[in-house]
Structure 1
Amino acid sequence: MATSSVRARGRRRLRAVVTAAVLTLTLGVSGCGLAPATSFVPDVKPGSIRPIEGLPVGTGLTVTSKNFTEQLILGKIAVIAARAAGFDVQDLTNVPGSQPVRQLMLDGQADLTYEYTGTAWLTYLGKDKPIPDQRKQWQAVKDADTANGLTWGPPAPMNNTYAFAIRSAKAKQLGVTSLSDIATIPPAERTFCIEAEFNSRPDGMNPLLKTYGIPRGSGVPNGQIGIYDTGAVYTATANGDCNFGEVFTTDGRIKALDLTVLADDKKYFPAYNVSPVYNTKTLEEHPQLAQVFDRISPKLTDAELQELNLQVDVQGREPADVAADWMVKEGFVTR
């Protein structure tokens, strides 16, 4: 126990240095429109998540996350859950960029984060092709990251991947529920709004259309594909500038604008299920930590994250407040 305590104190001292560096970076870029890191979370009490029995008082745990809306919400959920479990949590959420978060985890300067299977497989692990089956994709990532000192918890149902959405009323009018249905509607109705990156990527628009039997040109005329700035696709789709808009499946604007996501029935898009990822040494010291997050993951669905993201991006609420309210609603914590 003494050896473990000394090691924990040493890690906390080193983390303090890393934290200061990351906070300096975050504050430095705040003038470019990024919010500075904050450790604020509302004051809550244990609910169904109870303090881990026998956990020494003051046991430290560092939680990190990226700095976009969904990651901020998930990061605050992790902070709240870990505090309810009895840990002295260092909140290192709101880190700019995926690679810095990954490095904090690899270096052992953070103990826990929420990460996406597709990001790990394609970006961190450098694989060329995704695995279509969501469970097999998670298992492959889990197995590969074992050698990196990281342990992946079971994946949540939520899959924040690419998709195409259509106005709900128009979906009913055309009778479309899946991407395969696009091939059955009149060619004049095959109008798309996409981002420039998706238009030019080798795994983007052209192979997608080919996969679904409506190749660009003969199946979808070039003049029916509109290129939009990031984020403008949602509004353009809702306004009827096109029938089918490129979206991310957990974006809050899908619900706010009454859009319907079409099923990717041929599994073209990679799986981006989210999972809690632990520093393996931390999990070995506190195996009960996994039990805490294993209870949360099944509740994280596409619909739930659409609603939580909407509260931040559309209604202007703070991610920490949104996370806390959701944790109370699910009974994990209380006020």
Structure 2
Amino acid sequence: MTRTTTAPAGRTRSPGRSARRRLGVGVACLVSTAAVLSGCALGTAGGYVPTGELGSDLEGIADLEGVEITVGSKNFNENVILGKMAIILMSAAGADVTDLTNIPGSAAARQAHLVGEIDAMWEYTGTGWITYLGETEPVQGEQEQYEAVRDADLEQNDLVWLPPAPMNNTYAFAMNPEVTEQLGITTLSQIQDLPVEERTFCVESEFTNRADGLPGMLETYGIPLEDPQGVPESNLRTYQTGAIYDATAKGECNFGEVFTTDGRILALDLTVLEDDQSYFPQYNVSLVVREELIEEHPEIEDLMAPVTEELTDEVLQELNARVDVDGEEPADVAFDWLQEQGFVQ
């Protein structure tokens, strides 16, 4: 395994894309917080990327020799890990890849994607549908939500959502081992069968006010908030997002708000309750590619599909834990996993 630095910003592009790229640089100047490429460019701390060759499972599946591709990501570890995976795979297939991972904020990353400063970035179906496209109601069903955002973003923005991964980084509630054994429940519906005093929740303040947050969830499951026979407000404990995991592990509440692919679920041995009424929106991850690029190089979909299919909740929990808990570099974690799976060598 060797290390490479990010490719220079001032490379030559095909005439059909140059106008969009110049516009992208202008927008990037507005949203940049730390220019790391030459000249004015998108604020990012992409860092190094390990390189290798395609493994036997992907060998010959795609030839991207000389194709110039810019890959971005948002600035949270899961998205950075996924971004590094895409960079490693495309580079191994011969592409000249620029690393714009770790962009501060969803708004900046999305804008860069829209104007063409980024060619490819992993996105979440619920985020695309609700945050970017402005829809107010999630679509029920993973495939249905994917198809809705895929069709709308292609029509409106010329962005192609490749088939999504099984992983679904959505909201959930989890219990520590002692509570799991004591209560003996596995679904959110079963909370209704518990005594009121056992219905205690650790949540972040934003979650109590979101349209897809706690009040709607409790209403859906028949234990409405602020109802003495449902969930009295005194049963809520409010924390910063990161502190909820520790509070749940310590038993300061029975049910802690979590994200389903967070590595701390594994590290703290938490058990996630099944959302058996399908209340929470779907947040399956998909590599989103500019239409022009995927039309010119449809083999990108063939390259990414076998990898995407292996990205389950459990896999992402393990990879996230290696970064969030163990302190490893996202690029190393991405390369190691791809190598273990036979995708690179």
How far did residue 229 of structure 1 move?
1.5
2-structure distance, mates of 1:172, 1:22? 52
Q: CA deviation at 1:53?
A: 5.9
State the distance in 1 between where 2:46 and 2:257 align. 32
Count the aligned residue pairs: 324
Would you say 1:83 and 2:91 are equivalent positions? yes
Distance 1:6 1:149 in 2: 18
Deviations 1:284-328 (A, max 9, x none): 100101101111111110000011110001000000000000110
1:305 maps to a residue whose letter is L
The aligned residue for residue 271 of structure 2 is 260
1:284 maps to which residue?
A: 295
Structure 1 pair 37/16, CA: closer, same or farther in 2 (3 Å)? farther
Retained in 2: the 8 A contact 1:37–1:92?
yes
Counterpart among 177, 193, 208 of residue 186 in structure 2: 177
Equivalence for 2:78:
70
Q: How does 1:313-328 map to 2 (within 5 A)?
A: 313-328=324-339
d(CA) in 1 for partners of 2:278, 2:342: 35
Moved more, 241-250 or 212-221: 212-221
Aligned residue among 230, 238, 257 for 1:246:
257
Which residue identity is paired with 2:115?
D
2:233 corresponds to: 222
Higher share of residues assigned helix = 1
Say if 1:265 and 1:84 are closer, same or farther in 2 by CA, change over 3 A: same
Aligned-pair RMSD on alpha carbons? 2.4
Contact 1:18/1:109 (<8 A) preserved: no
The whole-number CA distance in structure 2 between the counterparts of 1:177 and 1:212 is 14
Cα separation, partners in 2 of 1:136 and 1:53, compared to 1, 3 Å: closer
Is 1:94 aligned with 2:105?
A: no
1:38-77 matched pairs, under 5 angstroms: 38-47=46-55, 48-50=57-59, 55=64, 57-77=65-85
Instruction: Map 1:87-166; keep pairs closer than 5 Å.
Output: 87-147=95-155, 148-166=157-175
Aligned equivalents of 1:165, 1:123: Cα separation in 2: 25
Comparing 304-313 with 44-53, greater Cα deviation is found at: 44-53
Q: Distance in 2 between matches of 1:92 and 1:51?
A: 27
Q: Secondary structure at the match of 1:310?
A: helix
State whether residues 46 and 84 of structure 1, in contact with CA within 8 Å, keep that contact through their aligned partners in structure 2: yes
Deviation at 1:52, TM superposition (A): 6.0
Deviations 1:85-143 (A, max 9, x none): 11010111111111221122211222111000000000110001001211000000011
User: What amino acid sits opposite 1:199 in the alignment?
Assistant: T
Q: Which residue, 245, 248, 251 being the options, matches 1:237?
A: 248
Q: Is the 8 A contact 1:37 1:93 kept in 2?
A: yes
CA separation of 1:240/1:69 partners in 2, compared to 1, >3 Å: closer, same or farther?
same
Task: State the Cα distance separating 1:252 from its structure 2 match.
Answer: 0.5
1:25 aligns with 33
**C-alpha distance in 2 between matches for 1:183 and 1:134:** 26
Q: Secondary structure at the match of 1:25?
A: coil
- Return closer, same or farther for 1:9/1:124 CA change in 2, 3 Å cut-off: closer
Q: TM-score, normalised by structure 2?
A: 0.88
Paired residue for 1:32? none
- Which residue identity lines up with residue 167 of structure 2 in the other structure? M
- In the alignment, is the contact (CA less than 8 A) between 1:64 and 1:110 conserved in 2? yes
Residue 230 of structure 1: how far off its partner (Å): 2.0
Identity %: 52
Shift of 1:223: 1.2
Distance 1:202 1:86 in 2: 45
- Please tell me the residue identity of whatever aligns with 1:233: I
Corresponding residue number in structure 1 for 2:203:
194
**Which consecutive residues of structure 1, in runs of 5 or more, have no partner in the other structure?**
29-34
What TM-score do you get using the length of structure 1 for normalisation?
0.90
Q: What SS does structure 2 have at the residue aligned with 1:42? A: strand
